[in-house]
Amino acid sequence: MEQEKETIVSLEDVYKVYPLGKTEVHAVKGVSFDIVKGDFISIAGPSGSGKSTILNMIGCIDTPTQGTVKINGKATSGLKDNEITLLRHQTLGFIFQSFNLIPVLNIYENIEFPLLLDKSFKQTKAERKEWIDYLIATVGLDDWKTHRPNELSGGQRQRVAIARALVTKPLIVLADEPTANLDSVNGEAIIDLMKKMNKDVGTTFIFSTHDQTIVDIADHVIILKDGKIVSDERNKSGSIR
Ligand code: ADP
């Protein structure tokens, strides 16, 4: 029998309405689900179905119009600004479609950057270097450490973004369509890498995706349509085709 696993994220009847000129966009319409620690979760559905909006609310980049988002059992709406900052630095890692790398920093410095932002990471410089070097080797960029992001291909930049998201050892990594800008070979390599991190470190990965390959390997697949859940299944992948 499977051991009872800990719920790490839960959404309770969440709505998101964006004002748009004189009208409103109802992006998320009463969504509820639980995410279990250590799972590899795919939030799938057509463009405009609310995937990014849900990721942004879990990542405290956006707030629900109505309903509750809980992380580690705590409602994010009840947190103070400094608690949100801590949560975003220590519990959450982000991989954006546009990578968001800092152009004037080299690859090593880009990956190191989140550690420098938060004084609570009590590593020595040598320990920090060992961990960053390990991540750089894992994402296969040993020869690119001192290069700037604009010298790298899209696939390589995505790998930097993954290493940067993992550098703080977050409990949860949020990835908005992480393979959308990659060809299929690079896309598969990125998925393999994240799956390896999921197994080795126990990081919970939450993706928004159109990509059936990600859906096929996920432990938990939530399918959205028009801001509502049409399917929510754990340990059984669903087809989005
Ligand atoms: P997906 O990630 O599935 O493509 P989104 O969450 O990006 O979907 O968008 C859901 C709906 O909300 C879409 O109709 C989109 O146009 C709208 N939307 C998203 N963000 C905003 C915003 N900041 N302002 C107005 N409408 C938005």
Which burial class, exposed, middle or buried, applies to 6 when counting CB atoms under 10 A from its CB (0-12, 13-18, 19+)? exposed
Q: What is the pLDDT of residue 2?
A: 53
Q: What is the pLDDT of residue 150?
A: 94
**Residue nearest (by alpha carbon) to ligand 1 atom 11:** 27
Q: What is the pLDDT of residue 237?
A: 47
Could you list the beta-strand ranges (E) of the chain: 7-20, 23-36, 40-44, 66-71, 74-75, 92-95, 172-176, 204-209, 220-225, 228-234
**Residue nearest (by alpha carbon) to ligand 1 atom 20:** 53
Identify which of 18, 20, 222, 226 to mutate to test ligand 1's pocket (most ligand atoms within 8 A of the CB): 18
- The residues of the chain scoring below 70 in pLDDT are 1-4, 236-241
Is 241 contained in some domain?
no
Can you tell me whether residue 77 is helix, strand or coil? helix
Count the Cβ atoms, other than its own, within 10 Å of residue 26: 15
Q: What is the pLDDT of residue 224?
A: 96
For the question of whether the overall pTM of this predicted structure is more than 0.75, the answer is yes
| HSE-up of residue 77 (Cα within 13 Å, Cβ side) | 11
Q: What is the pLDDT of residue 178?
A: 80
Query: 114-165: per-residue pLDDT in tens?
Result: 888 877 777 888 999 999 998 898 888 999 999 999 999 988 998 899 889 8
Domain span at residue 92 reads 7-234
Q: What is the pLDDT of residue 241?
A: 44
Q: What is the pLDDT of residue 65?
A: 97
Q: What is the pLDDT of residue 120?
A: 75
CATH number of domain containing 29: 3.40.50.300
Q: How big is the CA angle at 50 (ends 45 and 53), to the nearest 5 degrees?
A: 135
Report the C-alpha gap between 24 and 27 in whole angstroms. Answer: 9
- Measured from CB, residues less than 6 Å from any atom of ligand 1 are 18, 20, 25, 27, 45, 47-53, 208
Number of domains the chain contains: 1
Selection from 46, 47, 56 nearest residue 18 by Cα = 56
> Phi/psi class of residue 202: alpha, beta or left (left: φ > 0; alpha: ψ in -120 to 50)?
left
**Residue nearest (by alpha carbon) to ligand 1 atom 22:** 18
Is 30 contained in some domain?
yes
Q: How far is the CA of 134 from the centre of ligand 1 (A)?
A: 37
Start-to-end C-alpha separation, the chain: 32
Identify which of 42, 52, 55 to mutate to test ligand 1's pocket (most ligand atoms within 8 A of the CB): 52
Count the Cβ atoms, other than its own, within 10 Å of residue 75: 14
Is 239 contained in some domain?
no
Ligand 1, closest atom to CA 19? 25
7's tokens = 């719920």
